Amino acid sequence: MSKLTIGEQIRTLRKSKGLSQELLAENAGINLRTLQRIESGSVVPRGETLRLLAQALDIPVEELAASEELFASVGEPSGLMREDQGFLRLMNLSALSFWFIPFGNIIAPLVLWIFKRNEIAGVMDLGKRILNFQITWSIIFYGFICFGGMSGIFFKSPFMMLTVIALLYFGNTVFIFINTQKIIRGDEDVYPLGFKIIQ
């Protein structure tokens, strides 16, 4: 008989205690959408989220963390990961380097992801999400620049082009800071946007 995934364990325990998803999310202090994604298996809870769920379900966190799928489902070897929320925040904030280096929003997180994805819990999944979003943003941004240059819009209306460029820069910066706050809170719903280029 195959072992239950961590999402299936949480759903089974929740139902056995007669809790709705809304009530469990409220008791654990997490976002309802995050719980729904955990139970469906689309995300794997890490660190503080796992502890909050275990506490709300009144079970030892080790009972949930013992699942082999906890790390295997995100491509990380079980039992070898260490927790480091600071590194997760650093990897996310490294995307701000696009202010100084063209494609820095992809290069900096990619380097950190490659070197730490098998050492720190959550890096594998978060790195993919950051990179998929930043690649998507770069396609839109540099596509817009190329289109503006080739179509002559830059020369006809430079103010409009500069405004759009500034808005795209500002939007990406704000989105990075919003997702940093989500990482600090332990919210699993980070970077929900972007093409799934890295699977």
Spatial separation of the C-alpha atoms in residues 60 and 51, rounded to whole Å: 9
Q: Report yes or no on 191 lying in a domain.
A: no
3 or 29: which leads in pLDDT: 29
Instruction: Give pLDDT tens digits for 72-129.
Output: 433 443 444 577 788 989 999 999 999 999 999 999 999 999 988 878 877 888 899 9
Residues whose CB is less than 8 angstroms from the CB of residue 121 and which lie 6 or more positions away in sequence, other chains included? 46, 47, 71, 76, 81, 82, 83, 84
My answer on whether 40 and 105 are in the same domain is no
Q: Report yes or no on 77 lying in a domain.
A: no
Half-sphere exposure of 89 (CA within 13 A, CB side): 12
Q: Report yes or no on 197 lying in a domain.
A: no
Last residue of a domain, one of 50, 72, 94: 72
Domain of residue 13, CATH code? 1.10.260.40
My answer on whether 63 and 94 are in the same domain is no
Instruction: Give pLDDT tens digits for 6-29.
Output: 888 888 889 988 889 999 988 888
Spatial separation of the C-alpha atoms in residues 119 and 19, rounded to whole Å: 35
My answer on whether 46 and 23 are in the same domain is yes
My answer on whether 180 and 118 are in the same domain is yes
Q: Report yes or no on 28 lying in a domain.
A: yes
Percent of the chain with pLDDT strictly greater than 70: 87
> What predicted TM-score, i.e. pTM, was given to this entire model?
0.61
Last residue of a domain, one of 16, 38, 72: 72
Say whether 117 sits in a helix, a strand or coil.
Answer: coil
**Total domain count, the chain:** 2
**pLDDT of amino acid 68:** 41
My answer on whether 16 and 51 are in the same domain is yes
Last residue of a domain, one of 44, 72, 100: 72
Q: Report yes or no on 198 lying in a domain.
A: no
For 149-159, what is the mean pLDDT?
Answer: 74
My answer on whether 162 and 90 are in the same domain is yes
Q: Report yes or no on 22 lying in a domain.
A: yes
My answer on whether 102 and 57 are in the same domain is no
Q: Are 53 and 45 in contact (CB under 8 A)?
A: yes
Instruction: Compute the mean pLDDT over every residue in the chain, rounded to the nearest whole number.
Output: 82
Q: Report yes or no on 114 lying in a domain.
A: yes
Q: How confident is the model at residue 70 (pLDDT cuts 50, 70, 90)?
A: very low
Range of the domain at 164: 85-185
Q: How confident is the model at residue 130 (pLDDT cuts 50, 70, 90)?
A: very high
40 or 109: which leads in pLDDT: 109
**pLDDT of amino acid 111:** 94
C-alpha closest to that of 126 among 103, 170, 99, 93: 93
106 or 155: which leads in pLDDT: 106
